[in-house]
Amino acid sequence: MLSVREVVTSYGNVKALRGISLDAAENEITCLLGPNGAGKTTTMFTIAGILTPQSGTVMLDGKDVTRLPANKVVSKGIALVPENRLVFPRLNVEENLYAGAYSRRASAAEITADIKDIYRRFPPLEERRDQLAGTLSGGEQQMLAIGRGLMTRPKILLMDEPSIGLAPLVVAEIFNTIRELNEDGVTIFLVEQNARMALSVADKFYLIENGEITFSGSPGELEEDEVIHRAYLGTQKE
Ligand X SMILES: Nc1ncnc2c1ncn2[C@@H]1O[C@H](COP(=O)(O)OP(=O)(O)OP(=O)(O)O)[C@@H](O)[C@H]1O
**Can you give the binding site for Mg ion, defined by CB under 5 A?**
40-41
13 interface partner picked from Mg ion, ligand X, none, CB below 5 to 8 A per type: none
In the complex, minimum distance from the CB of residue 165 to Mg ion, in angstroms, rounded to a whole number: 13
Where does this chain bind ligand X (CB under 6 A)?
11, 14, 16, 34, 36-42
Q: Which residue lies nearer to ligand X by CB, 38 or 213?
A: 38
Tell me whether residue 19 or residue 124 sits nearer to ligand X (CB atom).
Answer: 19
> Residue 145: which of 155, 156, 130, 158 has the closest Cα?
158
Sign for the pseudo-dihedral over CA of 114, 138, 199, 4: positive
For the bound state, the minimum distance from the C-beta of residue 122 to ligand X, rounded and expressed in Å, comes to: 25
Alpha-carbon gap, residue 149 to 153, rounded angstroms: 8
101 versus 231: smaller Cβ distance to Mg ion: 231
CA–CA distance, 64 with 114 (Å, rounded to integer): 28
Nearer of residues 39 and 49 to Mg ion, judged by Cβ: 39
- Please report how close the Cβ of residue 50 comes to ligand X at its closest, in angstroms: 11
